[in-house]
Chain A
Amino acid sequence: MLWLCAHLPQMGLEMFHRSSAASRHQAAVVIDERKVHLMNSAAQEAGIGLGSSLATASSLVDDLACYKRDEQAEKEYLEKIIPIAYRLTPRVSVSLPYDLMLEVSGSVKLFGGLKPLVRLLERSLRRIGHKTFIGTAHAPCAARVLAHAEVATPLPNYPDASVVRENALKCLRETSLEHAELQPSDIERLFSMGIRSFGELIDLPRHELGQRFDKSLLEYLTRLLGSGFDPQKYASPVECFQSDVHLLEPAKDRLSLDDHMQQLALRLVHWLQSRQLGVLEATWTFKPYDDDGITVPVRFSHPQTRVPGILECSELALDAVELPSEVISISLEAPRVDSLLNAGPVEKDLLGTHQSRPALPGELLDRLTARLGVESWRLLRNVNDHRPEYAWSPVTTRAFERDSTSFPTPGHRPLWLFEPPMPVKRKNFELLKGPERIESGWWEGRFLRDYFVARHESGSLCWLFNDGEEWFQHGYFS
């Protein structure tokens, strides 16, 4: 086994703050729980220390670039750069927060030896902006210690396993236990017994250590020496649905595309089913011989899982575009998918067949969207506000349905509101009920109105208000 650990000590900062020539001189820090977690050299020169408070740091540097640590984003970032390691070996794993682990015994030959391989890894990571230190050892945890301690194991270009182990252990012996992956309390105890390096620890009789420390320490030592089982969870590439069909002879009309589209949609549905997903956006690409062809996006309001549903909306979307006269290849991608947990129940009858039923609003909306575009429709919803014109708002998604909370509906309100309210003459109306005074929303400007239910000369029932100066009609009661 030949393990490399690529330690990216500044990754948490570099992922935000690329060290361009311009930004290199700007002090930058990553803050975790209001304390400095990482910093660049400019920050260090300014006298900021790791663990100092944000207040201290910003008092030392005027234009401090400050980022908040987000462990989830760090994890995602680390996973995103895995492909760089993939080029060197399929056996790659991630060690949070800032390490990539590579088992390279199988690829040394391919890359012309260990040295070119390490150089390539280093260079690739540097190119995307990362300071890297690479530790080499016979076991993953040993490689990690050496990488963190920035100790390079001297090795020949084509080392065999026993040489790797011997040389790595020699380096490890001199390394301070502060880099050990043990409980901080155990490290502190070892230090206060005067045991400070891996060598001093390794030399102690195991059974006496066992009396004094948790068995995890002994297990760690075993893994470190390469004699224990140390399973790694290898990463696999991120998946994304993409499938295409190349036609033997060009399709010249819509009808002849149907079968192929059906086939692609079916592949998508199988792919979705195996992952318990539904599709939110699908993209069709229809290519002729000579150019890139045309791309047709189809969006769904709910995660869609059924072939007819996908095809129905696709057909509508195709109606709105002009296809190439001869199509030689069709492809289907699914750039946006969502877990089925968000899709709501699928309606089936007792026998499991789908009920024939009137189109659900969701389906109606999908069809409207496919035919007329996203901008073609609006839903109205109530908004919890005293001011009538703020008490409702148009929305284009149905997402609010899930989180809408109940609140008391305001009093007697007309169905039809004027936007904006219409100036009227008081004398044309007879006031029937009121005033209802509404004085709210001061944070957005003065709003003080006395509302009345009034009858217009013509007999219609109206909603009037007086804003202290003038009279307006705000709506009609039906």
Chain B
Amino acid sequence: MATSPSTTSVAFAELHCKSNFSFLCGASHPEELVRRAKELGYQAIAITDECSLCGIVKAHVEAERVGIKLIVGSEFHVADADGESTMHIVLLAPTRKAYAQLSSLITRARRRMPKGEYKLSVNDLGEATNECLALWIPGDLSLEKLAVQGRELQVRFSRLWVALELFLTDRDLEQTANVLTLSMQLKLPLVASNDVHMHVSERKPLQDTLTAIRLGMPINQLGTRTYSNAERHLRTYGAMRKLYAEEILEESVKIADICDFSLNSLRYEYPAELVPEGMTASEHLRKLVYEGANQRWPSGIPQEVGALLEKELALVADLQYEYYFLTVYDIVRFARSRNILCQGRGSAANSAVCYCLFITEVDPDRIHLLFERFVSKERQEPPDIDVDFEHERREEVIQFIYGKYSRERAALAATLITYRPRSAIRDVAKALELDPDLADTLAKSMAWWDNKEQFGERLTSIGVDPTSRTIQLFLSLVEEIIGFPRHLSQHVGGFVISRGPLSELVPLENAAMEDRTVIQWDKDDLEAMQLLKIDVLGLGMLTAIRKTLDLVSDFRGLQGDARLSIASIPPEDPATYEMLQKADSIGVFQVESRAQMSMLPRLRPACFYDLVIEVAIVRPGPIQGNMVHPFLLRRQGKEPVTYSNDAVRQVLERTLGIPIFQEQVIELAMVAAGFTAGEADHLRRSMAAWRRRGGLEKYHRKLVDGMLERGHPEEFAERIFEQIKGFGEYGFPESHAASFALLVYVSAWLKRHEPAAFCCGLLNSLPMGFYSPSQLTQDVMRHGIEVREVDVQKSGWDYRLEPSEKTHADYDRPQGALRVGMRQIKGLKEETGSRIADNQPYEDIDDLARRAELSNQELTFLARAGALQCISGNRFQAHWDAAGVDRPAQLWRANDVVIPYSTEVQLPEPTVGESVFLDFSYLGLTLGDHPMKIFRSDDQIRRCKRAADLTAVRPSQLVQIAGLVTCRQRPSTSTGVVFLTLEDETGNASVVVWKTVLEQFRAEILQSQLLRVKGVVEREGDVIHVVAGQVEDLSDKLKSLADRHDEDRKIVNSRNFR
């Protein structure tokens, strides 16, 4: 029952109240509870989620906003001394010390149980919780038993109340009698509280739904497992007055008055050990920065850099962020000492200070980013540095952090997993017993949800009556539940490190992963509490780059300081940019995707900042805002670069008047639409969360009106708003783009000048990036690099570089040959592969089996992949032989008398087609002929152009092409278009399929492995597409590949060809 909010304050404070952070139990957001309590005139409200402080920060922020006292507490079900029954208590934190006790108690109760559970016995209470206030809610037990429980609590809490909670059930009388009796018997004070589960009674259906989801039962079978009525909401004083005596209502206010702890008083303290004794943090940071600067500029720090450093150091000192920079520096220094490549990014990373601390390699000379733009005094937000480490070695860094600061002081931030439309639909449908197929259809058509106006229509189109009562209920429940938290998960790498025990600051609990703990707050909470987190992330490209740098240095015999490093790669190399302009970018960080590849020849990057733009422009933000085309026009000089006024010029000058980066859009909201700094900041925060929580629409009108008022066209304003929405999906500020651009440049330089080593580095770091080993090796072969067969006598586990006689006109230095590694062999374990490599060479198959201790099965893995051809003749024979060497490895060692292997079977040589087929099946790549080369003389293929031939074709010409379908993509940002990549022996061709053609050839386009496409060539500079008109599925050809006789039908899994 909704009751009108009272305007005057009442003599009551709710002390027992669960939010939806008591997962699948509470049915209101903490913010809603706080707001409602304020509306009802309560003196205070305690948020007491069960064994959790997950929702407390959100409640705190809202309480500060609306102006109501928030009490921090938590509810527990505690096993009593004999373990037979449980006691229901609420603990409140009146002081900082009590808060620390509460947080530690939660940590203890949760750390001893698997993720999501807790266990507490009455013996955990007492000394450890003596500062807390306790409310006891007597359960449905005999009076004698309750009296015993009461006494147990009484000896442990000096401040204990018996709470009376009445819900208009038939137990009310009995409960009142029990509570009064206990209060008199034990001489305990009485207080009224309400075990609140929701802010208004209208949430009862949702609360029941959550119960159904929690218990995994349909709602209509829950029966008495639900509450019999909706009384567990924040009630009006009038309603409570009918239930409780005035004094016990007032008692709640007295308790609230005792509590003067506020989360504001939590002061984060940085780890102290980072600063040597006798120095201030500021002095220490300055010293480190100047040491680094002298290393960076051995011949003297340039004057403007010196000035920049001073300015930045002053800002850091002013905001007292020295410890943050020192902490990041410490972690990065560890990584560098272990030769783990890392790279910082984020708002503060692209500063001269970070460059001097070796947190980033983006030279301030190269890119003139203003540190102030990223760390601002006004915004009052902590600086943000994410550090990417080599993905294979990130764990070492994490262990270093745990080792240095101990698990008591370092933990991962939580990520809150909330209901998204898809999961909401699934769970609510199950609770309402909706047809699972219908729910499936709904869940899969997520786009429907975005467009609520059309939703009814869509439902009708799949035969569902949108006006039916069940569907109406379903829709309203789904809408309500979206955004509700479901559980905590671990953040990808956000560490919080503190000076004292972290558990006194925030509770810790176990993550699903073994030996991982997370704190109960997520990154929004940390930001609100101004706690600093450091993101320790894994990045595959860093692994590949580090491996490549080592390979090059070893191959070329570079020692000591001469070894190749990111810093020693020459900047602004024209040959590198030339390569990128041709979209020759397979394997290069970020710009290797199909979309990026078609952007490269249009944007024609020629300097580092062009790469920054290149990285940022192929993103949902600029694409949805329709900013890409205008930018290209201006860049190509086809449209004049103009600005509506000077303020706008200042924001957009570096991107030719077109907003590309996230922060440009925010600044534009200020200079072009009149947002205040505070509003712009709210816009930025809402942007990140709108997919989850909505809340962006209110800025729409303001933005458009503001821009119209200031003379900007409406169409532009709408596009800006679309762009803002796009950023919500994947925010991309300039600082991130700059850090990524550096890795683009480095990886592109390596590909241009050290192609063999770069490909080797990539292949040894898989899985990562877009391309399969087959695609990477074909690319490097097309670049003239020799690739050698996997060979049990010569291959390592990893790919290796071997000296090569081959000369290369394209490269300024000799290139090695790439030897395929045994990591490519299907089924083989790394341990086995390394053992084989360690004992090379071998005399024969017996010798191999004996010294490398190979099982029969391991030998067959080698044989069928073709690695035994050098010692056993053809591949079929090798496999037959390997299967025959069937003696356990132990026997070999015990008895050196070897009965040589022999066989009377002679199997024939595989055909070319069979070899290719076996290569793809058991090695994942072939160095033999590309299947398309084998088919080239077939009637169906003969007249097709090869991918390489397309450059010589004039635009609008009708052509046929054929190839293996290696990539099939339907970008979410385009409507109904599918992009295909067809691979043949000369390279990749890009095919565009428009909606009408797609509908006609749906099956072929979605399922075939080998396609022939008839279509029209479309050209824009070096970007060539074939726009499909007709499509034919030739996948059966692949099946025939392994056949020796055409009439034979064979098992061929054409999926192997990828």
| Minimum Cβ distance to chain A for residue B228 (Å) | 4
Mark A40-70 against chain B: 1 for CB-CB distance below 8 A, else 0: 0000001111001001100110000000000
Question: Cβ of A439 and Cβ of B229 under 8 Å apart?
Answer: yes
Mark B840-864 against chain A: 1 for CB-CB distance below 8 A, else 0: 0000000000000000000010001
Question: Cβ of A440 and Cβ of B914 under 8 Å apart?
Answer: no
Question: Cβ of A433 and Cβ of B173 under 8 Å apart?
Answer: yes
Chain B minimum-CB-distance residue to A435: B168
Cβ-based interface call for A385 (8 A): yes
How many residue pairs between the two chains, A and B, have CB atoms under 8 Å in the bound complex?
Answer: 125
| Minimum Cβ distance to chain B for residue A438 (Å) | 5
Question: Cβ of B208 and Cβ of A439 under 8 Å apart?
Answer: no
Mark A153-180 against chain B: 1 for CB-CB distance below 8 A, else 0: 0000000000000000000000010100
Question: Cβ of B432 and Cβ of A439 under 8 Å apart?
Answer: no
Taking each of A55, A211, A444, which has the highest tally of chain B beta carbons within 10 Å of its own beta carbon? A211
- Interface pairs (28), CB distance under 8 Å: A48-B1003, A49-B1007, A176-B1048, A176-B1051, A178-B1050, A189-B860, A192-B876, A193-B879, A194-B876, A194-B914, A196-B1044, A205-B904, A208-B904, A211-B884, A212-B886, A213-B883, A383-B223, A385-B224, A386-B224, A410-B170, A410-B224, A436-B172, A439-B204, A439-B229, A443-B205, A443-B219, A443-B432, A443-B473
Cβ–Cβ < 8 Å partners of B221 in chain A: 384
Question: Cβ of A208 and Cβ of B884 under 8 Å apart?
Answer: yes
Question: Cβ of A187 and Cβ of B204 under 8 Å apart?
Answer: no
Mark B161-178 against chain A: 1 for CB-CB distance below 8 A, else 0: 000000111111100000
Question: Cβ of B1048 and Cβ of A437 under 8 Å apart?
Answer: no
Mark A411-437 against chain B: 1 for CB-CB distance below 8 A, else 0: 110000000000000000000010111
Cβ–Cβ < 8 Å partners of A359 in chain B: none
CA distance A448 to B230 in the complex (A): 9
| Minimum Cβ distance to chain B for residue A402 (Å) | 18
Contact of A443 (CB < 8 Å), options: B220, B444, B907: B220
Mark A438-478 against chain B: 1 for CB-CB distance below 8 A, else 0: 11101111001010000000000000000000000000000
Known: A193-B883, A194-B914, A412-B170. A208 touches B905 (CB 8 A): yes
Chain A minimum-CB-distance residue to B1002: A60
CA distance A191 to B229 in the complex (A): 68
Q: For window 184-218 of chain A, which residues contact chain B by CB distance below 8 Å? A: 187, 189, 191-197, 204-205, 208, 211-213
CA distance A9 to B1057 in the complex (A): 29
CA distance A440 to B1042 in the complex (A): 67
Cβ-based interface call for A408 (8 A): yes
Question: Which residue numbers of B lie inside 8 Å of A, CB to CB?
Answer: 1, 167-173, 201, 204-205, 208, 219-221, 223-226, 228-231, 432, 444, 469-470, 473, 860, 864, 876, 879-880, 883-884, 886, 903-905, 907-908, 910, 914, 918, 921-922, 1002-1004, 1006-1007, 1042, 1044, 1048-1051
Question: Cβ of B230 and Cβ of A439 under 8 Å apart?
Answer: yes
Interface residues on A, range: 35 or more
Cβ–Cβ < 8 Å partners of A407 in chain B: 223-224
Cβ–Cβ < 8 Å partners of B1051 in chain A: 176, 178, 187, 191
| Minimum Cβ distance to chain A for residue B175 (Å) | 12
Chain A minimum-CB-distance residue to B473: A443
| Minimum Cβ distance to chain B for residue A93 (Å) | 28
| Minimum Cβ distance to chain A for residue B18 (Å) | 19
| Minimum Cβ distance to chain B for residue A159 (Å) | 26
CA distance A213 to B444 in the complex (A): 46
CA distance A211 to B902 in the complex (A): 12
Cβ–Cβ < 8 Å partners of A383 in chain B: 223
Chain A minimum-CB-distance residue to B174: A411
Question: Cβ of A411 and Cβ of B226 under 8 Å apart?
Answer: no
CA distance A49 to B173 in the complex (A): 68
Cβ–Cβ < 8 Å partners of B170 in chain A: 410-412, 436
| Minimum Cβ distance to chain A for residue B57 (Å) | 33
Q: What are the nearest 3 A-B pairs in CB distance?
A: A47-B1003, A384-B223, A411-B170
Cβ–Cβ < 8 Å partners of B444 in chain A: 55
Question: Cβ of B228 and Cβ of A439 under 8 Å apart?
Answer: yes
Chain A minimum-CB-distance residue to B1043: A196
CA distance A448 to B204 in the complex (A): 12
| Minimum Cβ distance to chain B for residue A410 (Å) | 7
Cβ–Cβ < 8 Å partners of A193 in chain B: 876, 879-880, 883, 907
Cβ–Cβ < 8 Å partners of B876 in chain A: 192-194
Mark A388-415 against chain B: 1 for CB-CB distance below 8 A, else 0: 0000000000000000000110111000
CA distance A49 to B1004 in the complex (A): 11
Cβ–Cβ < 8 Å partners of B230 in chain A: 439
Cβ–Cβ < 8 Å partners of B880 in chain A: 193, 212
| Minimum Cβ distance to chain B for residue A302 (Å) | 27
| Minimum Cβ distance to chain A for residue B231 (Å) | 6
Known: A192-B918, A194-B907. A438 touches B884 (CB 8 A): no
Cβ–Cβ < 8 Å partners of B904 in chain A: 205, 208
| Minimum Cβ distance to chain A for residue B605 (Å) | 39
CA distance A46 to B1007 in the complex (A): 12
Q: For window 337-351 of chain A, which residues contact chain B by CB distance below 8 Å? A: none
Extra A-B contacts (10), CB below 8 Å, given A59-B1006, A213-B883: A192-B922, A193-B907, A194-B914, A195-B907, A208-B905, A212-B884, A386-B226, A437-B168, A437-B228, A448-B1
| Minimum Cβ distance to chain A for residue B280 (Å) | 62
Chain A minimum-CB-distance residue to B909: A194
Question: Cβ of A440 and Cβ of B229 under 8 Å apart?
Answer: yes
Question: Cβ of B223 and Cβ of A386 under 8 Å apart?
Answer: yes
Known: A407-B223, A436-B169, A440-B228. A208 touches B1049 (CB 8 A): no
Taking each of B172, B469, B1042, which has the highest tally of chain A beta carbons within 10 Å of its own beta carbon? B172
Contact of B1050 (CB < 8 Å), options: A196, A204, A443: A196
CA distance A116 to B220 in the complex (A): 61
Cβ–Cβ < 8 Å partners of B864 in chain A: 192
CA distance A410 to B201 in the complex (A): 22
Chain B minimum-CB-distance residue to A391: B223
CA distance A55 to B1050 in the complex (A): 28
Cβ–Cβ < 8 Å partners of A445 in chain B: 469
CA distance A195 to B224 in the complex (A): 66
Chain A minimum-CB-distance residue to B226: A440
| Minimum Cβ distance to chain B for residue A284 (Å) | 41
CA distance A437 to B172 in the complex (A): 11
Chain A minimum-CB-distance residue to B863: A192
CA distance A433 to B168 in the complex (A): 11
Known: A176-B1050, A383-B223. A47 touches B918 (CB 8 A): no
Question: Cβ of B905 and Cβ of A52 under 8 Å apart?
Answer: no
Question: Cβ of B1007 and Cβ of A47 under 8 Å apart?
Answer: yes
Question: Cβ of A437 and Cβ of B1004 under 8 Å apart?
Answer: no
Cβ–Cβ < 8 Å partners of B432 in chain A: 443
| Minimum Cβ distance to chain A for residue B44 (Å) | 27
| Minimum Cβ distance to chain A for residue B550 (Å) | 36
Cβ–Cβ < 8 Å partners of B204 in chain A: 439, 442
Known: A386-B224, A440-B228. A450 touches B1049 (CB 8 A): no
Cβ–Cβ < 8 Å partners of A435 in chain B: 168
| Minimum Cβ distance to chain B for residue A51 (Å) | 10
Taking each of B171, B922, B1007, B1044, which has the highest tally of chain A beta carbons within 10 Å of its own beta carbon? B1007
CA distance A55 to B444 in the complex (A): 10
Chain A minimum-CB-distance residue to B885: A211
CA distance A49 to B1007 in the complex (A): 8
| Minimum Cβ distance to chain A for residue B201 (Å) | 8
Taking each of A187, A192, A436, which has the highest tally of chain B beta carbons within 10 Å of its own beta carbon? A192
Taking each of A56, A384, A436, which has the highest tally of chain B beta carbons within 10 Å of its own beta carbon? A436
| Minimum Cβ distance to chain B for residue A413 (Å) | 9
Q: For window 57-85 of chain A, which residues contact chain B by CB distance below 8 Å? A: 59-60
Question: Cβ of B231 and Cβ of A437 under 8 Å apart?
Answer: yes
| Minimum Cβ distance to chain A for residue B645 (Å) | 50
Cβ–Cβ < 8 Å partners of A47 in chain B: 1002-1004, 1007
Cβ–Cβ < 8 Å partners of A408 in chain B: 224
CA distance A128 to B419 in the complex (A): 51
Taking each of B223, B860, B1002, which has the highest tally of chain A beta carbons within 10 Å of its own beta carbon? B223
| Minimum Cβ distance to chain A for residue B518 (Å) | 34
